[in-house]
Amino acid sequence: MPKDRKIGIAMDFSESSKNALRWAIDNLADKGDTFYIIHALPTSEVDPRNSLWLKSGSPLIPLVEFREPETMEKYGVKIDIPVLDMLDTGSRQKEIHVVTKIYWGDAREKLVIAVKTLKLDSIVMGSRGLSALQRIIMGSVSSFVIQHAPCPVTVVKD
C-alpha cells in the first residue's frame, strides 16, 4: 500500500551523506514515496544567473533532469556518478520519485527551511562525527536540524 511520504535527504556528497542516502533507500523507501535531495551551497558560490533563487532555492529538479551535466553545471553542483547511480537504481527498484532542491547559504538554516517549505514527513542526514570541541566551535548541522525541524530527523552514523 503506497504511503506517498515526502522524505528529505541532506546531500553534500560526502561519504556520510552517501551513507545516509544508501540507508534511506534500503530502510525507508516505499512505493510512491518522494525523496527530496536537498543540497546547500555557500552563498559565495552562487552563479549570477541563479541569484533569483537565493531566498527560495532552486525549482524542484526531477532526477532525469538532474542527471544532465548541463543542469548540474547550471546550478554549480559537481557531478557525482555514484550518487546519481544510487538514486537511479533506488527510484527504479523501490518505485520512488526523486527530485532535487538546491539552496544557497548556511546548510543548517536551509535544511530547516526545506523541511518547512516542502512539508517533509522526515529528513535523513549523515553525521560527520565531529568531536565535542569541533561541534562547539563549528556547530553541528545535524544538531541544529534536530533542534529546529518540525519533523522526525534520522542521523545515520558512519
User: pLDDT digits over 16-48, tens only?
Assistant: 899 999 999 999 999 999 999 999 988 776 666
More confident residue, 152 or 44: 152
pTM, full prediction: 0.89
What was the pLDDT predicted at 50?
Answer: 65
What was the pLDDT predicted at 76?
Answer: 85
Q: Which residue has the cell 532552486?
A: 58
**Looking at residues 40-66, what average pLDDT do you find?**
82
Cβ–Cβ < 8 Å for 155, 125: yes
- Secondary structure of residue 67 in the 3-state scheme: coil
Alpha-carbon torsion (52, 57, 150, 148), positive or negative: negative
What was the pLDDT predicted at 1?
Answer: 40
Q: Which amino acid is at 95?
A: E
What was the pLDDT predicted at 142?
Answer: 85
Q: Which helix (H) or strand (E) holds 85?
A: helix 81-94
User: pLDDT digits over 91-147, tens only?
Assistant: 999 999 999 999 998 999 999 999 999 999 999 999 865 555 444 444 578 888 999
